[in-house]
Amino acid sequence: MKRLTPPCIALCALLLPAFAPAQDLVQSAGKHAKVVLDNADVRVIELNMPPGASTGMHEHTTDQLVVFLTGGTAKQVGADGATKELTRKAGDVAWSAPVKHDTTNESKTPVRTLVIELKKK
């Protein structure tokens, strides 16, 4: 029985994050994210990502608009592990349905965005 305990603990440590709920963007991105408006209709998050910074795995539970204040290249990793490369320029606007992902700034310069989460009525 004692021989099974360490492997069981290691297996649980590996599998548990897959079943844990994803964090909110503001929690997962920490100092890179700041709520600039929060009311009954929307929550607006200013995201300032230095080169190489990651938002951490997080979940958007409602539809959202993302306004790119600066351009850049990013890598997104979905909850299923699928990756995609994104290149945006300043002024681009993107729409997204609810999603769970992690985004890393792969640019050599900071990327600034406004994430506008639409609250459900």
Residue 83 and residue 27 in contact, taking contact as beta carbons nearer than 8 Å: no
Reported as a single tens digit per residue, the pLDDT across 55-85 is 999 999 999 999 999 999 999 999 999 999 9
Residue 84, beta-bridge partner list:
76
Per the confidence metrics, is the pTM higher than 0.75? Answer: yes
Q: What is the CATH number of domain 22-118?
A: 2.60.120.10
Total Cβ atoms within 10 A of residue 58: 19
What is the predicted pLDDT for the residue at 29? Answer: 87
Please report, rounded to a whole number, the percentage of residues in the chain having pLDDT higher than 70: 81
Helix (H) or strand (E) holding 112: strand 111-118
What residues does each domain of the chain span? 22-118
**Residue 48 or residue 20, greater confidence:** 48
From residue 20, alpha-carbon distances to 4, 23, 43, 83, 105 in Å are 24, 9, 24, 20, 24
> What integer best gives the mean pLDDT of the chain?
87
Cα(74)–Cα(107) distance, rounded to whole angstroms?
Answer: 7
Helix (H) or strand (E) holding 25: helix 25-29
What is the predicted pLDDT for the residue at 14? Answer: 47
Least confident residue range of 20-24, 39-43, 57-61: 20-24
What is the predicted pLDDT for the residue at 113? Answer: 96
